[in-house]
């Protein structure tokens, strides 16, 4: 769960540290106080895209850190191990630094990380539902994903999509082969000749490197022999060779050492140098004894190199690429030969179709199993949200086989008794849509594994007794996980276990936003403000106190 959020120089926040409790936390404040800043900051900490203008005026950078307890998140721990990120005492600390010029840096547990890694980790940690989240629910793709996730079918749905793509790839390949049989027959004949040509060449990259080295040695053989003879002359054979001169110096120093023993160091170095010179001279002597001019071998090497160059020009590749070209040709030849075999490609396509159908059928069975369960649960929640007689159904309409399965998933609703269900995107009332969306989110979230859920004013358009039910639903959700709700409703705020308040203040003519954790007395004042507006009376305070007591 989220334990702490630290914000520095972000929008209108100069410095802020917030500790979070388990269960149901509410965040309130006057309009324009900056309640969404907390959501924006946390979103950036877990990898959201940063936009310009988020650093506080006059600051070089904004810095956001979020600390999570991941004791029970085995999946995240496995991800951290795969990404070689240290797991320190079941703590996950993500940190984001965003500079005024738009540059950004990310860290996980003190180790540099990519923004994508923050985003991937964030999916294990936090689900954020904004006040406009119900708009995404209007899309069939979002409805299908929510439903499959609720039924634990997401992995099976992914496997089905991959199987469909594989089947379709085989189908289109078979179709292409049939439509272009003559063309592919000509290509096969051509590629067989090409493969035979390259195979007969017997080329390898290792041979090519060896040939080039040997050619360099043979073509410069005379220069090598003459040069090595000259080196021996300078080292040991000449009248004033290095060996003779150094031996004279050695003899002279040996005599002088009798007068000053400190010359031993110079004499030792000279002895070592003479030994090394002698080793070099012996090596050159052996090299000259085994080396000779070999014009015949040089001609053979040059002929081989010319053949390799001619082949590489013929097939328009560099010599180094000839070995890889052989593999490519053999693979393509096997592909074309397989296609020409009696129905082989059709058999592969049929096998791909069978594999897809098996997965799709299993997915379909799972969907039909969970559709009535989800329908019943959301219908039940709708009654509590003053949608008496309303109904929710997960419609599964058969369709031609597709990547998403054998049926189209669509959420259907009836806002009240006596009317038939219609697609969710046909619901006219904004208030109804908001309540239905909340029911969907609350029910489906109960099946999720993400430990922290944040609702950003999802209760917009709700009031009265319904608001109290909404608060009860969110509090119920908080019994099993950490739930943070930004709300403007006192009926919701009064049910929080922890209450945070956002407010604006002026400091040195600069507007700043702060967040305070409220005790009981402060909560009474805040809920009274939410009930009564600007003027708070004893009556509203009493009402607020009663709401908290309840």
Do 200 and 272 lie in one domain? The reply is: yes
Within a domain: residue 549?
no
CB 458 within 8 A of CB 133: yes
Same domain, 313 and 267: yes
Token pair 């004894």 in the structure block, residue = 289
Instruction: Report the distance separating Cα 445 and Cα 474, nearest Å.
Output: 11
Kindly state the tokens that stand for 101. 């010029």
Residue 395 belongs to some domain of the structure: yes
Are residues 224 and 325 both part of a single domain? yes
| pLDDT at residue 428, rounded to an integer | 53
Q: How many domains does the chain have?
A: 3
Output the furthest CA–CA distance in the chain (Å, rounded): 124
Q: Do residue 322 and residue 442 come from a single domain? A: no
Structure tokens at 225: 């022999």
Q: Tell me, yes or no, whether 345 lies in a domain.
A: no
238-273: buried (b, 16+ CB within 10 Å) or exposed (e) per residue?
eeebbbeebeeeeeebeeeeeeeeebeeebeebeee
For residue 209, tell me if it sits in a domain: yes
Q: Which of 283, 306, 338 is the last residue of a domain?
A: 338
| Dihedral sign for Cα atoms in the order 362, 365, 367, 373 | negative
In 3D space, the residue among 507, 508, 510, 478 whose CA is nearest the CA of residue 499 turns out to be 478
Q: How much is the pLDDT for 284?
A: 80
User: Residue 55: enclosing H or E segment and its boundaries?
Assistant: none
Per DSSP bridges, beta strands 498-507 and 510-517 are antiparallel
Does some domain include residue 350?
no
In a domain, 524, yes or no: no
Residue that finishes a domain, picked among 416, 448, 480:
448
Can you read off the two tokens belonging to residue 478?
Answer: 């908080």
Pairing mode, strands 2-10 and 104-108:
unpaired
Asked if 409 and 396 touch (Cβ cutoff 8 Å), the reply is yes
Handedness of CA 262, 267, 272, 273 (dihedral sign): positive
Within a 10 A sphere around the Cβ of 166, how many other Cβ atoms?
17
pTM of the shown model: 0.61
- Determine if residue 415 is left, alpha or beta; phi over 0 gives left, psi from -120 to 50 gives alpha, anything else beta: alpha
Residue 288, in any domain of the structure: yes
Which residues, at least 6 apart from 134, have a Cβ–Cβ distance to it below 8 Å? 433, 434, 436, 437, 458
The two structure tokens encoding residue 82: 């795969």
Tokens read off for 122: 């964030």
One pLDDT digit (tens) per residue for the chain, 550 residues? 999 999 998 888 888 899 999 999 999 887 765 677 888 888 899 988 876 678 888 888 999 999 999 988 888 998 998 998 888 788 899 999 988 888 889 999 989 999 999 999 988 898 887 655 556 677 888 889 889 989 999 999 999 999 999 999 999 888 877 776 667 777 788 888 888 888 888 888 888 888 888 777 777 665 666 676 778 778 887 777 888 888 888 888 888 887 888 888 888 888 888 888 888 888 887 776 666 666 677 788 888 888 888 888 888 888 888 888 888 888 888 877 766 655 777 888 999 999 999 999 999 999 999 999 999 999 998 888 878 888 999 999 999 999 999 999 999 998 778 788 889 878 756 667 777 877 887 788 766 668 888 887 666 667 777 888 888 888 888 888 899 988 888 999 999 999 999 888 877 777 788 888 999 999 999 999 888 766 788 888 898 888 888 7
| Shared-domain flag, residues 215 and 330 | yes
Helices (H), 71-153: 74-82, 115-125, 133-136, 140-150
Same domain membership, residue 243 and residue 221? yes
How far is Cα 510 from Cα 516, in angstroms, rounded to an integer?
A: 19
Give the pairing type, strands 111-113 and 126-129. unpaired
**In terms of residue numbers, what domain contains 32?**
1-131+457-518
Pair (480, 407) in one structural domain? no
Do 398 and 283 lie in one domain? The reply is: no
Q: How many residues does the chain have?
A: 550
Which of 338, 401, 353 is CA-nearest to residue 166? 353
Q: Are residues 197 and 303 in the same domain?
A: yes
Q: For residues 70 and 30, state if they share a domain.
A: yes
* Spatial CA neighbour of 432 closest among 390, 478, 474: 390
Q: Do 403 and 483 sit in the same domain of this protein?
A: no
Task: Indicate whether 153 and 249 sit together in one domain.
Answer: no
The candidate with the shortest Cα–Cα distance to 411, out of 138, 45, 76, 66, is 138
How far apart CA 197 and CA 102 sit, in angstroms, is 57
- Among 448, 474, 493, give the residue marking a domain's end: 448
Using an 8 Å Cβ cutoff, are 157 and 404 in contact?
yes
| Assigned token pair, 399 | 């369709």
Does residue 175 form part of some domain? Answer: no
Contact (CB, 8 A) for 491 and 471: yes
Tokens representing residue 458 in the block: 């999802």
Report yes or no: 413 and 429 within 8 Å, Cβ to Cβ.
Answer: no
Q: What is the separation of C-alpha 443 from the centre of its chain, rounded to a whole number of angstroms?
A: 28
Tokens at 550, concatenated = 């309840």
CATH code of residue 143: 3.40.50.300
Q: Give the pair of three-digit tokens for residue 315.
A: 């097939």
Q: What three-state secondary structure class fits 54?
A: coil
- In 72-213, at which residue ranges do the beta strands (DSSP E only) sit? 91-99, 104-108, 111-113, 126-129
> Which DSSP symbol is given to 421?
-
8 Å CB contact between 165 and 403: yes
């Amino acid at each position: 769960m989220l334990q702490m959020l630290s914000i520095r120089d972000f929008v209108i926040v100069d410095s802020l540290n917030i500790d979070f409790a388990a269960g149901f936390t509410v965040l309130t404040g006057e309009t324009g106080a900056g309640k969404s800043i907390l959501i924006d900051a946390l979103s950036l900490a877990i990898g959201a895209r940063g936009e310009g203008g988020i650093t506080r005026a006059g600051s070089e950078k904004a810095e956001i850190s979020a600390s999570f307890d991941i004791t029970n998140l085995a999946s995240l721990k496995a991800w951290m191990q795969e990404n070689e990120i240290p797991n320190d005492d079941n703590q996950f600390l993500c940190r984001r630094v965003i500079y005024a010029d738009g540059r950004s840096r990310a860290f996980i547990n003190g180790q540099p990380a990519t923004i994508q890694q923050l985003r991937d980790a964030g999916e294990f940690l936090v689900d954020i539902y904004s006040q406009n989240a119900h708009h995404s629910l209007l899309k069939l793709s979002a409805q299908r994903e929510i439903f499959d996730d609720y039924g634990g079918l997401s992995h099976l749905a992914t496997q089905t999509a991959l199987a469909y793509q594989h089947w379709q790839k085989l189908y289109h390949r078979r179709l292409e082969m049939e439509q272009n049989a003559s063309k592919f027959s000509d290509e096969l004949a051509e590629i067989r000749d090409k493969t035979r040509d390259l195979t007969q060449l017997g080329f390898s990259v290792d041979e090519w490197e060896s040939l080039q080295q040997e050619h360099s040695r043979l073509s410069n053989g005379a220069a090598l022999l003459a040069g090595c003879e000259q080196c021996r002359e300078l080292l040991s054979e000449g009248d004033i060779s290095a060996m003779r001169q150094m031996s004279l110096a050695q003899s002279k120093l040996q005599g002088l050492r009798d007068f000053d023993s400190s010359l031993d160091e110079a004499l030792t170095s000279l002895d070592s140098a003479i030994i090394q010179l002698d080793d070099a001279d012996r090596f050159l002597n052996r090299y000259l004894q085994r080396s000779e001019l070999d014009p015949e071998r040089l001609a053979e090497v040059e002929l081989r190199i010319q053949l390799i160059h001619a082949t590489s020009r013929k097939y328009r590749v560099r010599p180094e690429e000839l070995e890889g070209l052989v593999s490519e040709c053999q693979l393509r030849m096997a592909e074309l030969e397989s296609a020409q075999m009696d129905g082989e490609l059709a058999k592969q396509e049929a096998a791909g179709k069978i594999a897809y159908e098996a997965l799709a059928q299993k997915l379909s069975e799972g969907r039909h199993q969970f559709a009535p369960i989800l329908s019943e649960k959301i219908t039940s929640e709708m009654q509590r949200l003053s949608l008496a007689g309303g109904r929710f159904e997960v419609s599964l309409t058969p369709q031609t086989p597709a990547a998403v399965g054998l049926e189209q998933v669509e959420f259907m609703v009836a806002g009240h008794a006596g009317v038939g269900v219609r697609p969710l995107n046909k619901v006219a009332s904004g208030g109804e849509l908001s309540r239905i969306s909340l029911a969907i989110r609350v029910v489906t979230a109960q099946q999720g594994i993400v430990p922290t859920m944040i609702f950003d004013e999802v209760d917009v358009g709700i009031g009265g007794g319904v608001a109290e039910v909404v608060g009860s639903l969110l509090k119920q959700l908080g019994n099993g996980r950490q739930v943070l709700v930004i709300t403007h409703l006192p009926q919701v705020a009064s049910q929080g276990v922890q209450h945070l308040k956002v407010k604006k203040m002026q400091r040195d003519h600069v507007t700043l936003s702060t967040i305070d954790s409220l005790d009981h007395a402060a909560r009474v004042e805040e809920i009274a403000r939410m009930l009564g507006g600007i003027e708070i009376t004893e009556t509203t305070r009493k009402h607020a106190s009663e709401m908290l007591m309840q």
